[in-house]
Amino acid sequence: MKTKQVCQVITTTPKLKVKTNSVPVLVRKNVSNVFAEKVQEELNIIPEHIKYELAYYNYKIVVCRMLVEEYPELKGEKPRGWSSGTWSSASGIYFQEEREIIVAEKFINYYTRGLNNQKKPGCILRHEMGHAVDKVFGKLFTPLSETRAFKLAYNKDKEYIESLQLSKQKQLSYYLQDGNSGKEEAFAETFANLLGGGADVISNDCFSKYFSNVREFVNDKVLAANL
């Protein structure tokens, strides 16, 4: 099941910073211990300098059973960039205002309508974290995905993709959305891919091939930064 995520961007003033690389993980009572442990294990292998920046700005991880149970207002709503389906079929979301990176244990399979277990929580965690990293590694409250350098890299990749067959363009359409949406999703998924795999069913090698310039940008500005 292909799951996609939305970044809700609301500009706020940073809270007081803390000197720690420990990002809090809030686990809801109806989440299995096995799933909660998997999320923690995946968080443990995130580079220390990235966790430090997230903790510095008071971000937290929320592990819940289902997104629409944790956030009833999402029920029946279609995520940004989806051609069909609702939040019931998603496993992750990022809220900038609350500084929350949410990973859900279960989701409704869009095709079978059955309740499925999310078997790759690390992929969801990394993608949603990518949205947060986009914000905290930017300067003067400007997300990295809105910088001139990123736009140049992204547009090069987009131009290449638009020269390909329509079937390939359709496959990558989620990352080619108009406005900032496509750029934000491409940044987040690239971040996830660089750290072990993203939320999309597209393989790491395939995604990296089509977003090679974005990949180089994210690697240089985030992974190689080691602030």
pLDDT at position 106: 97
Q: Let me know if residue 166 belongs to a domain.
A: yes
Res. 7: pLDDT tops 90: no
Q: Are 103 and 176 within one domain?
A: no
**Residue 207 belongs to domain spanning:** 144-223
Res. 9: pLDDT tops 70: no
Mean pLDDT over residues 96-108, rounded? 96
Q: Are 116 and 219 within one domain?
A: no
Dump the DSSP string for 16-57. ---S-----EEE-TTS-HHHHHHHHHHHHTS-HHHHHHHHHT
Using CA atoms, how far apart are residues 161 and 176, in angstroms rounded to an integer?
9
Among residues of the chain, what percentage have pLDDT more than 90? 78
pLDDT grade for 8, boundaries at 50, 70 and 90: very low
Q: Let me know if residue 1 belongs to a domain.
A: no
Count of structural domains, the chain: 2
pLDDT at position 165: 93
Res. 18: pLDDT tops 50: no
Q: Are 60 and 123 within one domain?
A: yes
Strands (E), the chain: 7-8, 25-27, 60-64, 92-95, 100-104, 106-108, 115-117
Q: Let me know if residue 2 belongs to a domain.
A: no
